[in-house]
Structure 1
Amino acid sequence: MNTRTSLLSAAIVSCLAFSAHAQQAQSATDLDTITVTGIRGSMEKSLDTKREANARLEVVTAEDVGKLPARNVADTLQRLPGVNISSASADEGGFDESDRVSLRGTSPSLTQTLINGHTVASADWFVLSQGNNVGRSVSYTLLPSELVSSVEVNKSSQAKLQDGGTTGTVNVITRKPLQFAKPFTAEGSIGAVYSDQADSYDPQLSALFNFKNEANTFGVMLQAFSQKRELRREAQEVPGGFFEIGASDPVALTNPDLIGVKVPGLLGSTLFEQTRERKGGLLSVQFKPSDDLTFGLNGFSSKMDANNYNRNFMMWGSAFARSQAPDPGYVVKDGVLTQANYTGQPGTSYAVYDMIYREASSKTNYITFDTDWQINDNLGMKLQAGRTKGTGSTPRQFIAELTMANGGGASWTTHGKGSPVDWNVGGDLSPAAAAWGGTWGNQEVTAEDEEKFATVDFSHYFNSGVVSSIDFGARYADHRREALSPEGATPGDIWAALQGGATANYPSGFASGIGGSFPRNLWYYTPGALKDAIINNSTWLAGNDGPTGRHNYGAEWKVAEKNWAAYLQANFVGDWWSGNIGVRYVNVKQDINTYLAVSDAANADVSSLFGMWKAQYFQNKHDRLLPSANFKFDLDDRLVLRVAASQTQTLPDFSALGASSWGSDLTRTGGGGNPNLKPVLSTNLDMNLEWYFMPRGLLSVGVFGMDLKDYIAFDVQTRMLYSELTNQLEAYEVAAPINTDGKVTGAEFTYEQPIGDNFGITANYTYANGRSSHTWEDGSHNLQGTSKNTYNLGAFFENDRFGARVSYTYRSAFLISLSGANPYYQDDFGTLSASLSYKATDWLSISLDGLNLNNPTFKYYQSATIPTSFYSNGRQYYLNLRFKY
C-alpha cells in the first residue's frame, strides 16, 4: 500500500480514540440551506438538521418552482461557501449564465455532478467543447432551476458516495410523486425575460402536475419547461494572444531591438448573438405495494437549441508585424510592443474579418428504475439501474473570412490586462473593398456521451453496540464518450454569391460598456446571406468518399470506460459524538481510440481531404482503495466540531485522454491528448467548528487541505499536424496534458443571523491557496481554477405577503488553461442579483428577478501587460406569475 494511504488510514484509526457509548444512529447529512418558501422557518430547520449531522454538506432547496433569482442549478449554488461558478467550459469566453460548478479552488472537472445519485451525461453547444476541450463536468445550462427539489454539495467524502469527485460531489435531487401532501397538485409559471443588451423580450414557461392516490401507494408527476432567451455579447477579443517576434523574421534585420518582443497577432471587435431555446421535462412514477417496498421509474430530457453568429473584425498583426517595421516612436515595455503605428503599404491587408454562423444544440436525457426495499427490521436495500445520454451537435458551420484595409495601415496602444487595447486600421472598410480570404468549417462536429449503470446499496442496523449500522454495496458503469466529424462540404465559388448578399450593421452603442477605442461602426453579411452563399456553392461530401471526402479523422476520438466499485462503511454514534469510517474499492478499464497524422500513405489506415492518419489504440487499467472518515463532536449545546479525512479520485478529462492533435493554421498552435495519463488522487483533510449562537444564527469557521497526486496540467509540445494551407505536415506548438502534482489549502467562514422578525443577513468567505509543481509557460505554478478569494453577501426581508432578497457574489482571478501556447486567466468579477416576490393569493404569487444587475465586464488576460478579451452581456430581468393548486 502506498505511503499516502497508510498515513491516511493511521489518521482514521486514531479518530476512534474518541469512541463513547452508542446511541441511536443519526442522519449523515449536514445542511447549510438557502430556502425559497418561508426563509426564516426553513433557515431554522436547516440549522437544526446541521447540528445533528455527520458529513460536510451544503444544501440549496427550492420548494417553489424557480423562486430564487436563478435560471439554472449553477446559479443557485454560487451563493454557498466554497462553491465557484464559471460561464464557459472552453474558449468561448464569458457569458451571462452560469455553466460550470467547481469546489474550493479547483477546475470543474474535479467536481462530480449527479442527479438523484446517478451520473448524468452531458454535452455542450459550443463546437470546441464538443470535440477538443471535453471535460468530465456537466453543462448546467441544460438543468433549469425548476428541476430542483434540493441540491446537495458533498464537501467531505463517504465510502457510500459514488467515486469521481476529487474535490466534491453535487447531487441534484428532483421531486417524487409520493412526497406531495395532497392527492392532486398543479403548479405553473408564466413569464418573460428581458435582456437589455439584446433588447429582447422572450417567454418563460413551466408547469408541474402531480397525482397520487388516497392510499399513497401510487403517484405520477410530470414537469415541463420551455424557455427562450436572446443573447447579445459585445466584446474586444485578442484571439491566440500575443506572438513573439523571432530572430529569423524579416523585421529583425531592420529593428533588432524587437527580437523577442511580444506583438498582438489579432485584435478583434467582436459581436456575438445567440438564440437559446431550452425545452424538456421530467416524468416520475412511484408504486408502493407495501409499507416496506417502493418502485420508481424516472425519465428526464432537456434540449437547448443554441444557433449563434459570431462576427470578429480584426487587426491582423501577424500578417504585417513580422515583416514591416513600425514607424519611429514605438514603445516597448516589459517585453511588449505597447504602442506602435504602421504606415500603410499597398498590397498589405491590415485587417481580417471572420463571420461564423453555426447551427448548434446540446441535449441530455436519462431513464432510471429504482427499488427501495426494507427487507426486515434490520436490513434495507436500494437498487438503481438506468441509462443516460448526452449529445452536442454542430451539423453546419457557415464561415467566411475576408481580408480588408488593403494599404490602410494600423496602430495600437495597450493599457495592461485591465483595459481594452486602443487600435485602429485605415483605408476603405466598406463591403466593396473586401477581398475573399477563404472559408473553412461547414464541417459536422458531434459529441456523444453515454453511460449505462447499476447500483445496489444495503444498510444493516444494530440495536446496541458502538456500531449503529453498516452500509455496503456495489456499482457498475459502462461509459462512452466520442467525438465525430464524418461529413463536410468542399467550397466552390462562394465569394461570387456572397458579394451580392444582404448586409447589416453593428448595433449603435456597440461595446460602450467595456470602454476602449477600436472600430465599432462595422457592417456584416446577414446570417441568411452567409448560409445561402455557402449552401448553394458547396459540395457535401461524406466519409465514405475516401481520399476526396471531408471525413476529418483528426477531430475524432473515443474513450470507453468500464467502472466497477464496491464499498463498506461503518456508522458510529456515542453520547456526544457520531461518525463513519469506510473504504471504497474502484476498478476502471479504459479503451482509447484516436488518430495520428502521418505523411506516408503506406503507414496510413484512413485518409481524406484533411490528410492521412494511422489509427491508434490504447488501454489503461486502474484500481485503488479509497478510505474515508467523518466525525462530529458536540462540545456543548451550541458548539459543534467536525473532522473529516478521505482519499478521492477523478479520471482525466475525456479529451485529455483521447483527443487527436489539432491546430490553427493562422497561429500554428493547437491542442491534443495524452492517452497515458493517470487518474488524479487527492488526500483530503477537513475540519469545521460551528457556533449556533442564537435561533437561526450560525457562525462557523473551517479549514481544508487537498494533496493532489497526478494532477493534470498542460505543457507545450511540438507536434507534426496536417496543414490545409500547405497540404502537408507542419510543426505546431500543441498544448498537451501531463501529470504533475498540486496542493490546495484554505479556509471557509459562514455567518447567518436574523434581525428582528422579518430581516436577515447571510455572508460567507472562502480562501483557497492552490499551487502546482508544474511550471507554466509564464513561469508560474498556478493551479487551474483556483480563485484565492470568493465571497457572498446577502440580505433578505420577508413577511406573510412580501419578500425581497439581494445577493452579491465575488470571485478573484484564476488560471483557465492554455490558449494556444500561452496560459490565460479570467480576472476577478462580481455579480449582483435581486429578487422581489408578492403573494397575491394562496394560489398566485408574482416575482421579479434581476440577474447581473451590475452589468459586469468579464476580463481575460495572458499576463499583467497582455489582455486577451473583454466581454459585456448586459442585464436580465425575469417577471413571472406562479400558480399553485
Structure 2
Amino acid sequence: MQVRKNVLTLSIVAVLGMAGTVHAQDQKPADQRAKDLDAVVVTGIRGAQEKSLDVKREANSHVEVVTAEDVGKLPAHNVADTLQRLPGVNISSSSADEGGFDEADRVSLRGTSPSLTQTLINGHTVGSADWFVLSQGGTVGRSVSYTLLPSELVRSVEVHKSSEAKLQDGGTTGTVNIITRKPLEFAKELTLEGSAGLVRSDNAGANDPQLAALFNYRNTDSTFGVMVQAFRQKRSLSRQAQEIPGGFFQISPTSVAALAHPDLANVWAPGLLGSTLFEQTRDRTGGLIELQFKPADNLTLGLNGFSSKLKADNYNRNFMLWGGNFAASQSPNPGYVVKDGVLVSATYAGDPNKDYAVYDMISREAVAKSSYVTFDADWQINEDFNARFQAGATSGTGSTERQFIAEVTLAHGGGASWNTHGIDAPVDWSVGGNITPSGVTGFGTWGNQQVTGKDKEHWVNLDFSRYFNGGALSSLDFGARYADHTREALSPEGASPGNIWPALQNGATAAYPSDFASGIGGNFPRDLWYFTTDAMKQAILANSTWLSNNDGPTGRHNFGGEWKVGEKNFAAYVQANFEGDRWSGNVGLRYVNIDQDVNTYQSVSNAANADVQSLFGMWKRMYTNNKVSRVLPSANLKFKLTDDLLFRFAASQTQTLPDYSALGASSWGSDLNKTGGGGNPHLKPVLSTNFDASLEWYFMPRGLVSVAAYSMNLKDFVAFGTETQMLFSELTHQLEAYNVAVPVNANGKVTGLELSYEQPIGDNFGINANYTYADGSAAHTWADGSHHLLGTSKNTYNVGAYFENDTFGARVSYTYRSAFLIGLSGANPYYQDDFGTVSASLSYKATDWLSFSLDALNLNNPTYKYYQNAAIPTAFYSNGRQYYLNAHLKF
C-alpha cells in the first residue's frame, strides 16, 4: 500500500512542478468549453460522432461520450444497450440468478462486476430497485437497473474511466453519468417531439405499443423554460430454456449408489434438469419534467423531477427431472458413463416408490419503480468565481406483492435417463410414467411471501470554482457533499396455504409453445402442460389466508428475509486544474467519511435467545456499525504531442462499499439441495489503485485511432466462500446444516488494453471497431480451484458500419463478450459463456418533421449459456429476436 501511495504522490508532485514552469494558453474553464460544444447543433450519425469525439478530445480526463443523436440512430432501447458499443464497457442482462434476457440491465467497466461501476443522472445518485424477487432481497448490489431508464431520456452519456476529485465517490472502476436535456438549451422557443410504434418479439409472438413525447418551451429572452417528457413502452417476453437449478451435486460415498458402485463416490450428477418457460409483460411508464429560471444573467435555478415504473408480472414454469430424489439412492442401469468426475450418461429403471420429476409453476405480480427530484442553483458570482448548489431526494422500490406457486411431483415409478454434452449443447434427458395432471402424486406451495426492496437517498451538494487569468493554474474546484442513504429488504406478510390442490387439480391448463426451445437444440420434454395463471391465482387465493405483520410462532412475517443498511456519507474535495502551452490536467484530493449501520437477523434454536419469531423460525436481532474515513487522491495529465495526437496519463485511488446484501442479508437455505447464502456485516470497502495511459490520434474529421492501457489493484475486493451454518428448515421446522455462501474480502487485480478505431469513408459511409482485453485475477480461491475475478471477460469487442445521406440511414453492429464468473449458484461457482449479438437499424426521413425507424435487436438469436465448469452446464436460454418500428415527429 505504501508503494502505491508513493507513486500517486510522485504523480501529483510532477504535475505541480510542471505548473510552475509552463504558462497557460487558454484560460477558458473546462465547464464553459463543454457548454460551447453543447451549443453546436448537429444531427444524424455523422454529426453525433463528430460531437462525441470533440467532447472526448477536449476533456482532461479519460472519457467516452455518446450523444442523443447517436442514441437515436443506434439499435438501442435503454441506456445500457447504448453503452455496450463503447470500448471497455460490458453489459449483462441480470443482477441475480434470474438468468439471461434479451435486454441489457447492468453496466460494468473494464472487466469487473457492475457493482464497481457507479451510475449517476446529471451527476447525482438515482435510487434503483429490481422487479426480480431474488434481486429485491437476496442479491442486492450497488448497480443501477437500466430497465427503468429508456434511451429517450438521454442528451448525452459520459463514461469516466479515470477519476477526478470532483466526481462523486463510489465508482471503483469508473462512473457513468447520464445527462438529460435542459429547457434553455433548445434552439427554438417551442419544440414538440413524439414517437409512436410497435415492438415485435419473435418468441412471444406479440406486437406491443411504444409511445414517447417531449414538449419544451422557453421564452424569447431565454430566462424561463419548461420541458416535459413522457413515455409508455410495453413489451412481451418469452424466454425458452433448459435450466439446471443449483448445478450438479456430488454423490455421497455412503449413498446407496456409491456403495453399490464405488466409482460413483463423489461423482457429480444433476440434481434437477429443467424444461423452462418464462413469460413476462414489461410495461414501462414514466416521465421527466424540468423547469429552469434565470432571475438574473448570472443566476440559473432549476427544478427537476423524474419517475419511471415498470410493471413486470411474470410466470415461470420449470418441469424438471428430479435427480436429487433418486441419483444417489438408486443404482443406474449398466452402461452408465463417468467422465472427468461427472456422471455424463445414465439410465434408471423405474422404482415404484419414487417420483422422477418435480414441476414448479411460479406466477408473480412484480413491479419496480425509480424516481428523483432535485433543486439546482448555478450562480456566477463574478467572472472569476462560480457557485453551484444542489439538493435532492431519490427512491427506488422493487416489490413482489403476490406469488402464486404450485410445486407438484409426478412421473411416479417411471424411471429416467440423461446424457450430457458439457456446455456445447443442452442435456438430453427424459422421464417415464405419467406426467399429465392426473399423474400428480404430491402438491405443495412455498415462498408464497411478499418481498419488497427499498432504496432511498437524500443529499446536498455545494461546489465552487475559482478561475485564474494568468499562470498555469487555470481554475480551482472545491466543495462538499452530504448524503443519507438506506437500502432495506422487507418480507412482512405471506399466505398460510389451505387445501389448494382439490381446487387446482381440475383447473384450466395450457400448453407450451409448439416450437418451444427450438433455438437451443437438445432432446428433452417440450410437449408440456401448465396451469394457467388465473387457475393458480383463483385456487390459491380462495384457499389461503394472507396474514399481515403476524409475528407470533404461527405468523408469516419472514424476519430471515429482512435486513437494512444505512449509510451517512460526507465528502469534501479540492481539485486544481492546469493548462499550459501544449498540455493540461488536474490534481485533487477527495476526503470521504462514511458511517454505516447494518441491521440483520441470526437464526437461533431457543426461544429464550430469540428477539422475534414466526412460522419461519426464531431470530436474534444483530447490529453492526462500521466507520470508514479515507483520502482519495487523483491526477490526470493530457499532452498535445501534435495538433492531432494526444497522450493521456491518470493515477487515482477509488473506493466502493460492499454490496448491500453482502453486508446485510440474513443467512437463508434451500431445502431442495441444502445450500444457501448470507451476508457479512464486517466487510471492508473495496479500495482500488488505478493507472491509465492512452494515445489518441484524431487523423481526420470523425476519425480516431486510440490505444489505452490500464491497471487496477483491488484491495478488499468482495468474493464468496462457503461454510456450514445451522439454519431453520421449513420442511422439518428445526435447525439443520446448510452449505452457505458467505462474502469475504480478498485482493484482486485487473490489467488490460483498449483499442479503438473510427473512420468515415467518403461522405456517407463509415466504420468503427473497438477491442478490450482484461486480465483479472483474485487472491481468493473458489470452490473449483480457480482465481477468477467476478465479472471479468478477457475479450470484448464491437464492430460496426453505417450509411447515411439526407434521406436514408442504416447501421449494423456486432458485439462480443467472452466468458466471465457471475458468482455462486448454491455453493458452486457459475459462469456465463461467451456470446455475441447482431443488431441493425434503418431510418428514413420523409419530411423535415416526419421520419421512420426500424431497429432489429439480437438478429442472430443468440443462446445464452451458463455453466458450473466445462463439463457441467447450468442453463441455456433463447429469447428470440426483437423488432422496433417507430414513426417520429418533430416540430
For normalisation by structure 1, the TM-score amounts to 0.98
Secondary structure in 2 aligned to 1:575?
coil
Match in the other structure for 1:72 = 78
Match in the other structure for 2:662 = 656
Of 19-28 and 538-547, deviating more is 19-28
CA contact (8 A) 1:23 1:573 kept: yes
Q: How much has 1:3 moved relative to structure 2? A: 4.5
Q: How much has 1:331 moved relative to structure 2? A: 0.3
Match in the other structure for 1:432 = 438
Match in the other structure for 2:270 = 264
Q: How much has 1:36 moved relative to structure 2? A: 9.0
**Any idea what the Cα deviations from partners look like across 1:601-623, whole Å, max 9, x if unmatched?**
00000000001000010000001
**Correspondence list, 1:46-445, <5 A:** 46-63=52-69, 66-445=72-451
CA contact (8 A) 1:188 1:884 kept: yes
2:756 maps to amino acid = T
**Correspondence list, 1:711-730, <5 A:** 711-730=717-736
RMSD: 1.5
Give the Cα–Cα distance (whole angstroms) in 1 for the partners of residues 551 and 580 of structure 2: 72
Give the Cα–Cα distance (whole angstroms) in 1 for the partners of residues 406 and 376 of structure 2: 51
CA contact (8 A) 1:124 1:139 kept: yes
Query: Given the alignment, which residue of 490, 502, 505 partners 2:511?
Result: 505
**Any idea what the Cα deviations from partners look like across 1:13-69, whole Å, max 9, x if unmatched?**
234454422222466589999x99322233234334433331110111114884421
Query: Given the alignment, which residue of 565, 576, 579 partners 1:559?
Result: 565
Give the Cα–Cα distance (whole angstroms) in 2 for the partners of residues 851 and 339 of structure 1: 37
| Structure 1 residues 92 and 476: alpha-carbon distance in aligned structure 2, compared to 1, 3 A threshold | same
Q: Does 1:852 align with 2:854?
A: no
Match in the other structure for 2:697 = 691
% same residue? 72
Give the Cα–Cα distance (whole angstroms) in 1 for the partners of residues 563 and 496 of structure 2: 23
Secondary structure in 2 aligned to 1:419?
coil
**Any idea what the Cα deviations from partners look like across 1:289-335, whole Å, max 9, x if unmatched?**
11110000000000000000000000000000111000011000000
Of 54-63 and 844-853, deviating more is 54-63
1:13 maps to amino acid = V
**Correspondence list, 1:396-795, <5 A:** 396-795=402-801
Match in the other structure for 1:6 = 6
Match in the other structure for 1:818 = 824
Give the Cα–Cα distance (whole angstroms) in 1 for the partners of residues 69 and 268 of structure 2: 54
Q: How much has 1:539 moved relative to structure 2? A: 1.2
| Structure 1 residues 726 and 696: alpha-carbon distance in aligned structure 2, compared to 1, 3 A threshold | same
Query: Given the alignment, which residue of 26, 47, 57 partners 1:24?
Result: 26
Give the Cα–Cα distance (whole angstroms) in 1 for the partners of residues 430 and 408 of structure 2: 17
2:190 maps to amino acid = F
| Structure 1 residues 848 and 92: alpha-carbon distance in aligned structure 2, compared to 1, 3 A threshold | same
CA contact (8 A) 1:595 1:614 kept: yes
**Any idea what the Cα deviations from partners look like across 1:452-482, whole Å, max 9, x if unmatched?**
0010100000111121110000000000001
Give the Cα–Cα distance (whole angstroms) in 1 for the partners of residues 362 and 770 of structure 2: 42
Secondary structure in 2 aligned to 1:251?
helix
Give the Cα–Cα distance (whole angstroms) in 1 for the partners of residues 745 and 80 of structure 2: 29
Give the Cα–Cα distance (whole angstroms) in 1 for the partners of residues 158 and 53 of structure 2: 15
Secondary structure in 2 aligned to 1:534?
helix
CA contact (8 A) 2:44 2:70 kept: no
Give the Cα–Cα distance (whole angstroms) in 1 for the partners of residues 82 and 626 of structure 2: 37
1:240 maps to amino acid = G
Of 21-30 and 626-635, deviating more is 21-30
Secondary structure in 1 aligned to 2:389?
strand
Of 13-22 and 813-822, deviating more is 13-22
CA contact (8 A) 1:36 1:61 kept: no
1:198 maps to amino acid = A
1:163 maps to amino acid = D
For normalisation by structure 2, the TM-score amounts to 0.98
2:206 maps to amino acid = S
**Any idea what the Cα deviations from partners look like across 1:831-864, whole Å, max 9, x if unmatched?**
1110100100000000000001110000000001
2:541 maps to amino acid = I
Q: How much has 1:545 moved relative to structure 2? A: 4.6
Match in the other structure for 1:829 = 835
Q: How much has 1:692 moved relative to structure 2? A: 1.6
**Any idea what the Cα deviations from partners look like across 1:394-428, whole Å, max 9, x if unmatched?**
01111010001000000000011121000000111
CA contact (8 A) 1:25 1:572 kept: no
CA contact (8 A) 1:28 1:55 kept: no
1:237 maps to amino acid = E
CA contact (8 A) 2:136 2:489 kept: yes
Give the Cα–Cα distance (whole angstroms) in 2 for the partners of residues 814 and 470 of structure 1: 42
CA contact (8 A) 1:36 1:68 kept: no
| Structure 1 residues 604 and 804: alpha-carbon distance in aligned structure 2, compared to 1, 3 A threshold | same
1:373 maps to amino acid = W
Q: How much has 1:2 moved relative to structure 2? A: 4.6
Of 333-342 and 48-57, deviating more is 48-57
| Structure 1 residues 28 and 717: alpha-carbon distance in aligned structure 2, compared to 1, 3 A threshold | farther
Give the Cα–Cα distance (whole angstroms) in 1 for the partners of residues 81 and 320 of structure 2: 34
Unaligned runs of 5+ in 2: none
Q: How much has 1:4 moved relative to structure 2? A: 3.0
Unaligned runs of 5+ in 1: none
CA contact (8 A) 2:15 2:587 kept: no
CA contact (8 A) 2:496 2:556 kept: yes
Secondary structure in 1 aligned to 2:869?
coil
**Any idea what the Cα deviations from partners look like across 1:487-542, whole Å, max 9, x if unmatched?**
00111101010011000000101101000000000000000001111111011112
CA contact (8 A) 2:729 2:735 kept: yes
Give the Cα–Cα distance (whole angstroms) in 1 for the partners of residues 421 and 70 of structure 2: 48
Give the Cα–Cα distance (whole angstroms) in 2 for the partners of residues 711 and 484 of structure 1: 27
**Any idea what the Cα deviations from partners look like across 1:68-90, whole Å, max 9, x if unmatched?**
21110001100000000000000
Q: How much has 1:694 moved relative to structure 2? A: 2.0
Secondary structure in 1 aligned to 2:752?
strand
Equivalent residue pairs, number: 884
CA contact (8 A) 2:443 2:501 kept: no
Give the Cα–Cα distance (whole angstroms) in 1 for the partners of residues 266 and 9 of structure 2: 52
| Structure 1 residues 47 and 199: alpha-carbon distance in aligned structure 2, compared to 1, 3 A threshold | same
1:717 maps to amino acid = E
1:594 maps to amino acid = T
CA contact (8 A) 2:42 2:51 kept: no
Give the Cα–Cα distance (whole angstroms) in 2 for the partners of residues 245 and 564 of structure 1: 52
Q: How much has 1:695 moved relative to structure 2? A: 2.2
1:349 maps to amino acid = D
Q: How much has 1:672 moved relative to structure 2? A: 0.3
